[in-house]
A and B are shown apart, each in its own frame.
Chain A
Amino acid sequence: MSGTYIIQNLLDGISLGSIYALVAIGFSMTYSILRLINFAHGDILMIGAYCAVFIMVASHLPLWAGLLGAMLFAALIGMMVERVAFRPLRGANEEAMLLTSLAVSIFIENLGIMTVSAQPRKFETTQALSFMHQIGEISVSNMTLLIFFLTVFLILLLTLFVTRTRLGVAMRACSENLVAARLMGIDINKVVACAFAIGSGMAAVAGVMLGAQYGRIDPLMGFIPGLKAFVAAVIGGIGSIPGAALGGYVLGLSEILLVALLPPMYSGYRDAFVFFILIIVLLIRPAGLLGILEGRKV
């Protein structure tokens, strides 16, 4: 086992971690405001991927156009899902919201199968993306670089948004105390819609990147990444945006490294590792890596 082997796997882990981070952030945002565990979040990722493919194939537009279109469309769908499925449940208990999100997830997946067929579809991108840079024995594709820098860029943008803008600060206020936020004159519905839009847009980026990386997409492609992003959000400390990003990278890196370092016969247990990591983290830090233990609000 050489150093280059480990570095190569670290790079793969960072690329996977970026995708988990993108999805986990949206997951964490809506959880922090509504205490909603949104299992439909992963399906938004799938919608984004399909939207990008349709834009790129139908109009022969480049990847960036597909990416932008996917973000906008997913944001719109995210806001619509919130309006239709979750807003009527404002004030309902967490279990009701969780079950609703499962229903939304099943609905979106089946709608996908009915409209775009269950057959996987090719996701073709330019050759330039798969170009490999060789540094000694290590190779890095443009794809990996794009995923990483795009993710970092989006996280920075989001950080600026929540610290520097009026709406962003209002969002953080809502995630802490909804009643007090209303007393300030903050319209909760607007903030929630905005959180859904941002989270869905980021999930769409993850969807496009997943599609571009594996070269194919299908209506159920969002399920596993959605579940793992949930795990990433919990590892990082659910409700915390930096926590979700950190959790994504911790999970992506450890998943890849465990597969790489353990004997090949165990690589089939890849998804089990994810939950193993979760259990270990929660045993040591029950609130997650960056989480704050808070009393249940009455």
Chain B
Amino acid sequence: MLELNGVDIYYGNIKAVKEISLKVEEGELVALLGANGAGKTTTLRAISGTIRPRSGTIVFKGLDLSKVSAHNVVGTGIAHCPEGRQVFSRLSVLENLMLGAFLRRDKKEINRDLEWIYTLFPILAERKKQSAGTLSGGEQQMLAIGRALMSRPSLILFDEPSLGLAPLFVEKIFEVIRYLKGEGKTILLVEQNAYHALEVADRGYVLETGSIKLSGTAGELLANDDVKKAYLGG
């Protein structure tokens, strides 16, 4: 469904990602693991078009994403739930969610998805008139996920959805990710919390200083000694 081939990404003259190749098949949940600065977020940004790779190809459903401008990527079926939530804090919860459906015109279906998100995250229904900036961190993460889902994506990119959240919220977020996988959504999940990520993932890639060091099924990675040492605390 999604295939990155030999992707190089630079920030100015600094090479942030070196010849990354990875694949996400339809219905799969793939985890992208690695330490801070390994290039995980950069890779996701390249997929959603907010930065351009210098070389290599990114193909989604047979479409070359390097020819699609950033604001059209969501229209191809990719939703990016960005690091640090990035909700529009001065806009209301409802406005945030409706912006997720910005390119959609099917009003009835939009309302149905809105109801679905309200059942997924009842707190958002309660706070729909409040400005997003007044929500707690965990609630904002739920809003960011809800907003991403409002585009009715076939592929969802999650960037550190559990970062900085209280354990209770972390559980809730992973519960939702597991549920979305059950719904048949394809997910590329970037996480520092490698244990949690590999628990829900089918496969995983481990990034180190911009290139892929390891890849395999979640079970293989969980059992791998290097992964254990570096990311699982033992």
| Chain A interface (Cβ < 8 Å from any Cβ of B) | 166, 169-170, 172-173, 176-177, 179-188, 292
Contacts of B72 in A (CB 8 A): 185
Least CB distance from A134 to B in Å reads 46
Contact B82 A185 (CB under 8 A): no
Partner of A185, one of B86, B87, B90, B151: B151
Contact A183 B48 (CB under 8 A): yes
Contact B91 A176 (CB under 8 A): yes
Task: Answer whether A176 and B74 are a contact pair too, CB < 8 Å, given A183-B82, A185-B102.
Answer: no
7 contacts between A and B (CB under 8 A): A169-B99, A181-B99, A182-B50, A183-B74, A184-B100, A185-B74, A185-B103
Q: Which residue of A lies closest to B78 (CB)?
A: A183
Contact A176-B102, Cβ < 8 Å, known A183-B48, A185-B151 = no
Q: Is the CB of A179 within 8 A of B86?
A: yes
B102 touches A177 (CB 8 A): no
Cβ–Cβ < 8 Å partners of A166 in chain B: 102
Output the least CB separation between B66 and chain A (Å): 16
- What is the chain A residue whose CB lies nearest that of B157? A183
Chain A residue numbers with a CB within 8 Å of B48 are 183
Main SS class of interface, A: helix
The docked-state distance in angstroms from the alpha carbon of A180 to that of B80 is: 9
Are B82 and A180 in touch, CB under 8 angstroms?
A: yes
Bound CA span A170–B91, Å? 10
Q: In angstroms, how far is the closest chain B Cβ from the Cβ of A198?
A: 19
- Whether B99 and A170, one on each chain, are in contact in the complex, defined by CB atoms closer than 8 angstroms, is yes
> Which residues on B sit within 8 Å (CB–CB) of A292?
90
* Residue B135 is within 8 A (CB to CB) of chain A in the complex: no
> How many residues on chain B are close to A (CB under 8 Å)?
26
B82 touches A188 (CB 8 A): no
In the complex the two chains form, what is the Cα distance from A39 to B147 in whole Å?
37
Name A174's closest neighbour in chain B (CB-CB): B88
Q: Give the residue name and chain of the A residue nearest to B48 (CB).
A: A183
Given contacts A179-B50, A184-B100, contact A169 B95 (CB under 8 A): yes
Residues of B with C-beta under 8 A to A181: 99
In the assembled complex, B75 has its CB within 8 A of some CB on chain A? yes
Question: Is B70 an interface residue when CB atoms closer than 8 A count as contact?
Answer: yes
- For the complex, what is the distance from the CA of A173 to the CA of B100, rounded to whole Å? 11
Q: Which residues of B contact A170 (CB under 8 A)?
A: 99, 102
CB distance from B140 to the nearest CB of A (A): 12
Q: Measured between C-beta atoms, what is the minimum distance from B79 to chain A in Å?
A: 8
Other contacts beyond A173-B95, A183-B48: 9, CB < 8 A:
A170-B99, A172-B90, A172-B95, A176-B88, A182-B50, A183-B82, A183-B86, A184-B151, A187-B71
| A183 and B95 in contact, given A176-B89, A176-B90 (Cβ under 8 angstroms) | no
Chain A positions within 8 Å of B82 at CB level: 179-180, 183
Q: When A183-B82, A185-B102, A186-B102 are in contact, do A172 and B88 touch as well, CB less than 8 Å?
A: yes
Taking the complex as formed, is B98 at the interface, i.e. its CB lies under 8 A from any CB of chain A? yes
The residues of B that contact A183 with a CB separation of less than 8 Å are: 48, 50, 70, 74, 79-80, 82, 86
| Closest CB in chain A relative to B57 CB, distance in Å | 21
Q: Which residue from chain B places its CB closest to the CB of A179 in the assembled complex?
A: B50
Residues on A with beta carbons closer than 8 Å to the beta carbon of B86 = 177, 179-180, 183
Give Cα A185–Cα B75 distance, bound, in whole angstroms. 7
State in angstroms the CA–CA spacing of A177 and B90 once bound together.
10
Residues of A within 8 A of B80 (CB): 183
Chain B's nearest CB lies how many Å from the CB of A31?
15
Cα distance A180–B79 when bound, in Å? Answer: 11
Chain B 78-118 interface residues, beta-carbon cutoff 8 Å to A: 79-80, 82, 86-91, 95, 98-100, 102-103
A169 with B98: CB separation less than 8 A: yes
Pick the 9 closest A-B CB pairs, nearest first.
A185-B103, A180-B86, A185-B74, A182-B70, A184-B99, A184-B102, A185-B102, A187-B71, A176-B88
